[in-house]
Amino acid sequence: QKEVEQNSGPLSVPEGAIASLNCTYSDRGSQSFFWYRQYSGKSPELIMSIYSNGDKEDGRFTAQLNKASQYVSLLIRDSQPSDSATYLCAVNSAENTNAGKSTFGDGTTLTVKP
């Protein structure tokens, strides 16, 4: 079992719809959770971070964390074609927190169709 798993995709949604990206992790001691966006041929860039249970909203993006279920998700409202990218989920476990190491999922590729 992978330490961080994402729904494999690809995910396709129409413009204006809500895109839902999911991630599960195996280490119950994980403390920090990140979503990165990676455009084709580019490097990952951080778009959301979340550290406590519940929702965190930033513009059209909402991250949701449920530590009991070991689940973190990213919702993109009013999806735009410019949101088409691969989204990487990353988790810092308790052991790795001090080292600043993240475990990355393999990513989910999102396509938003006009």
Partner 1 sequence: DVKVTQSSRYLVKRTGEKVFLECVQDMDHENMFWYRQDPGLGLRLIYFSYDVKMKEKGDIPEGYSVSREKKERFSLILESASTNQTSMYLCASSSRRVIRNEQFFGPGTRLTVL
Q: Give the footprint of partner 1 on this chain (CB under 8 A).
A: 31-32, 34, 42-46, 49, 51, 88, 90, 92, 97-102, 104-107
Coil vs helix vs strand at 96:
helix
Shortest spacing between CB 82 and partner 1, in angstroms: 19
CA 83 to the chain's CA centroid: 13
Q: Which helix (H) or strand (E) holds 97?
A: helix 94-97
- Cβ proximity to partner 1, 20 vs 49, nearer residue: 49
Identity of the residue, 44 or 79, whose beta carbon is nearer to partner 1 in the bound complex: 44
Rounded to a whole number of angstroms, the minimum distance from the CB of residue 46 to partner 1 is 5
Contact 18, 75 (CB under 8 A): yes
Angle at 21 between CA 113 and CA 67, to 5 degrees: 165
Nearer to partner 1, 17 or 109 (CB): 109
